[in-house]
Amino acid sequence: MTPASIQHLSERDEILARLIRRVGPCSLTPRRRRSPYEALVRAVTYQQLNGKAAQTILQRVRDLFPGKTFPTPHDLVRAPAEKLRGAGLSRAKTLAVKDIAEKTLMGVVPDRRAISRMNDVEIVERLTQVRGVGIWTVEMLLIFTLGRTDVLPATDYGVRKGFALTYGKPDLPRPAELLAFGERWRPHRSTAAWYLWRSLELPQ
């Protein structure tokens, strides 16, 4: 994100400013060229898995469609559920990625141009109509694909754990508490969330 976001957060929150100094510059670089469809399929695949396991499963899914960088919505709609399950997707995730593909073809999941004209609330309302896509999944798309600057994923375990660690709290904050505290970070809450994630990687 921008130096302005770092300056704003540092001026508004002394404790977060110390974390920013320890971590260094923010290297969050959204993948804006990735379509909402692909971002959602990836996010659903990664749900409740560690990164390496999810990456392996996603690659197996991609291998089902040789010659393509990523399967198209038509590919996933036509793919037998048994093949997707065989690649490692659970039954629930198989149903979810097929619904993402179907709703992309229907226009419920917008393309890159259409989604760029929508605000965050509109995007959440639209995409949570898709099976297996909750608010957290949409928040990940907003931050890591669309580059929206003011998203605070208050239900995310890593963000909550990072907050407790950074602010010396014995318990994880409730999402409502984190949202209330994070009001001071507006309009750069995505950057604040990124630093809270990074706090978990620092030596304690």
Task: Give the CATH architecture of domain 36-144.
Answer: Orthogonal Bundle (1.10)
The per-residue pLDDT for 1 is 60
Q: Residue ranges per domain, the chain?
A: 3-28+151-199, 36-144
pLDDT at 45 exceeding the cut of 70: yes
Whether residue 63 lies in the annotated active site: no
Higher-pLDDT residue of 112 and 1 is 112
The model's pLDDT over 56-85, given as tens digits with 9 standing for 90+, comes to 999 999 999 999 999 999 999 999 999 999
pTM of the model: 0.89
Given this chain, do its domains 3-28+151-199 and 36-144 carry the same CATH topology? no
The model's pLDDT over 144-183, given as tens digits with 9 standing for 90+, comes to 999 999 999 999 999 999 999 999 999 999 999 999 999 9
The per-residue pLDDT for 3 is 83
- Side chain identity at residue 119, one-letter code: N
User: Phi/psi zone of residue 110: left (φ > 0), alpha (ψ -120 to 50 degrees), beta?
Assistant: beta
Q: Which of 13, 150, 156, 171 is catalytic?
A: 156
| 3-28+151-199: CATH topology | Endonuclease Iii, domain 2 (1.10.1670)
Between CA 139 and CA 155 the distance in angstroms is: 10
